[in-house]
Chain A
Amino acid sequence: MPIDVLLQATTQGLLMGSIYALVALSLTLIFAVGGLLNFAHGDFMVLAMYAAFAVLAAVGVDPYLLAVPLFGLFFLVGTGLFRGLVRPVLSEGLLVGAQLTLGMVFVLQNAMLLIFGGDHLSVPTVLSNRNVAFGTVILPLPLLVASAVAAILSIFLYVLLMRTDFGRQVRAVTQNRDAAALMGIPIVRVQAKAFGLGIGLLGLTGAFLVAQFTLTPSMGLDLTLLALIVMVFGGIGNFLGCLGGGLIIGVIEGLGTLFFGGTVGAMAPYVALVLVLLLRPHGLFGEH
């Protein structure tokens, strides 16, 4: 195998892996805070992508410029959803909560189908089709930007959760709700903020990833599955582990395809996941 091809495949694997990590970060956040597995995770991200498309089509604003407004909008939607829907249901148990998010999948997919139709859409950004070359290695700029955002967000979330008062409150609520309440922590407000942050991040990441995908209303569940694998692989609740897990999966997939063809490449991350679960049930970077 020529070395330039090998280098390119490894780099591409790392870039795709960072995208996988970016998709998984907010799923990790929401799961870490409330134990809720958000099956509508990917669909919220797709909704953000469609929102970026709609704004681009209507007023010509580049999706990258919409990242922050979409974060704000989705944060509000997330906190509202938590207070109005998730919290009342969560009191009945996590399984009911998971069912609720499954219901959201169908609502969101069908709403997008009604509004945008089922045709594939590509959403160009200012960086679409732009590459930079380092020697023989070519880096697509949209992937490079998404990787940078993934790294920054992983560190930001790690610091937020481990080094701030809000993070301590979140961890306290996660570990023992009753004790946290006795310490004066406003449980519902903390959970709503954390859930809103998780959904808000989907708004932000949707804007950064929109150029990478060909949009269809039903692609969300695929993204949720991908996020779930990365989250479990890296270690549930560990944001840096999530980044590491995504990168490893991307490289395994890329090199598996390069050396053994597409079928082995597609299978390799799942084999790796099974191995990790057997040897380190809490994930590669997870803690007991």
Chain B
Amino acid sequence: MERRLKLVLAGLVGAALLGASGDAASAKEARVGVLMPLTGRYAESGNGVMRGAEMIVKEINAKGGIKSLGGAKIELVVADNGSDPTKTSLEARRLMNDEKVAFILGPYSTPEAQAFMPVADRYEVGGLGLQTTLVPQTPYFQTLSIAAADFGKGYGDLVKWLRQKGAKIEKVALTYANNDYGQVVQKSAVESLQAQGIKVLEAIPVEPGVKDMTPVVLRVKSLAPDAVISVVYFQDGVLLHRARFNLGYDDPIWIGGSAGFSDEKLWNVLTPEVASKTLTDVFGFAFFSDDANLPGMKEAVRRGQAAYPDKPIEQSFMFGAQAATLVAAALEKAGSTDPKKVNAAFRALKFPAGAPEVMLPMMVSGISFNDKGLVEGTSPLFVQWKDGKKHIVYPEAVASAKAIIKGVN
């Protein structure tokens, strides 16, 4: 009788453990989705993110996994969205519904995030956007990026600073990617410039995927601005700089971002001959530059260089490393693989400025998320290129080099 009672009790305990799927004691692994553009337009960046995330996950797993989950190893379930919003939606649904992931690292871009958010809201699984510059519309989405409206303000602040330094900027032209991101950045930049009394000559929309930027540069040239602000993606940026090089048009102070002006691979893809002529005196909006004085970043760069000696440790890589670090911290904090708990834990993460977990220099105040899912207290960086290396020139507080300003120095 006593033996039978023990068996029943053991059965009950076993059933309770099995039933509590997602709780700490039963977790063997924590499945985290990675929804990235590994092919298509943003593949360059998506693959960089992937490398950064994989490095962090390998390190955490090697150190014993997620302690609060009994040493559960993080398993990355990778999905390629092909840089396509429709595929993002389908793959997000698969990761949440079929793969039962606890959280999703991704998607990468704003259009992808727009497709992702309704799915996250429906399945109540959290996601972390990388270069998603919209304000999240669901409690199940947050972003590492600065919101698009703050991009525009960042451009305006730089122009203000350049004028304080003696640059003659009275007339500005803008070119922008004609999507939600580009439109919001353009609008807020125009507002910021007009508030300074600067004349905005024209804001020229450019369709992402354009095959030649020469007509756009020619239109800018016909406007004869003192400065130009270009909101472009990587590939459009390459075309823009090639067109500037071919036309020999280098009169205005050119400001732009982000990947099309500051991605680490830009110099080599353009070839040094074109890059040295087109990038050395432009100002590139950046989230990352490895010359910043930030302990967490320096350490992650060092580990990245050891893990991937033949690959550049650039912005996308650092975003991947930062994102994976935060997802792992959220799993640790949640002590569960229940997506709702992980998402709540993610939103509640707090790291002070200079903490080893803070790897992106733009997070000057440390990391904490506001109620909209945006990182609080971020500040854009502006870099200039010299001999294939980026140097932060603004804000001066974190600058590693003196800015080259046309007409001033």
**Residues of chain A at the chain B interface (Cβ within 8 Å):** 1-2, 5, 8-9, 12-13, 16, 109, 113, 117-122, 124, 128-129, 131, 138, 140, 214, 216-218, 222, 226, 253-258, 261-263, 265-266
Taking residues whose C-beta sits less than 8 angstroms from the other chain, chain B's interface range is 35 or more
Query: Contacts A129-B274, A266-B210: A8 and B218 contacting too (C-beta < 8 A)?
Result: yes
Let me know if A263 and B269 touch, CB within 8 A. Answer: no
Q: Which of B155-163, B201-209, B398-406 contacts A (4 or more CB under 8 A)?
A: B201-209
Within the complex, the shortest CB–CB distance from A283 to chain B, in Å, comes to 22
Let me know if B246 and A218 touch, CB within 8 A. Answer: no
User: What would 20 A/B residue contacts be, using CB atoms closer than 8 Å?
Assistant: A5-B219, A8-B214, A12-B218, A118-B39, A119-B47, A122-B268, A122-B271, A214-B235, A214-B238, A216-B40, A253-B215, A254-B212, A257-B216, A261-B205, A262-B204, A262-B206, A263-B207, A265-B210, A265-B215, A266-B210
Within the complex, the shortest CB–CB distance from B147 to chain A, in Å, comes to 24
Let me know if A5 and B222 touch, CB within 8 A. Answer: yes
Q: Does B353 contact A (CB under 8 A)?
A: no
Query: Contacts A9-B215, A261-B219, A266-B207: A120 and B178 contacting too (C-beta < 8 A)?
Result: no
**A1: chain B residues within 8 A (beta carbon):** 222
Within the complex, the shortest CB–CB distance from A269 to chain B, in Å, comes to 11
Partner of B215, one of A109, A218, A257: A257
**A129: chain B residues within 8 A (beta carbon):** 245, 271, 273-274
Within the complex, the shortest CB–CB distance from A110 to chain B, in Å, comes to 9
Partner of B214, one of A12, A118, A119, A214: A12
Query: Contacts A120-B265, A138-B248: A16 and B43 contacting too (C-beta < 8 A)?
Result: no
Let me know if B222 and A216 touch, CB within 8 A. Answer: no
A117 to B41: give the CA distance in the assembly, Å. 13
Partner of A258, one of B40, B206, B219, B248: B219
A253 to B206: give the CA distance in the assembly, Å. 12
The 7 closest A-B pairs by CB, nearest first: A118-B43, A257-B215, A262-B206, A266-B207, A12-B214, A263-B205, A120-B44
Given contacts A12-B218, A118-B39, 12 further A-B contacts (CB under 8 A): A5-B222, A9-B218, A118-B38, A118-B46, A120-B238, A129-B274, A214-B238, A222-B209, A254-B214, A262-B204, A263-B206, A266-B210
Within the complex, the shortest CB–CB distance from A170 to chain B, in Å, comes to 31
Let me know if B215 and A254 touch, CB within 8 A. Answer: yes
A2 to B47: give the CA distance in the assembly, Å. 44
A122 to B237: give the CA distance in the assembly, Å. 13
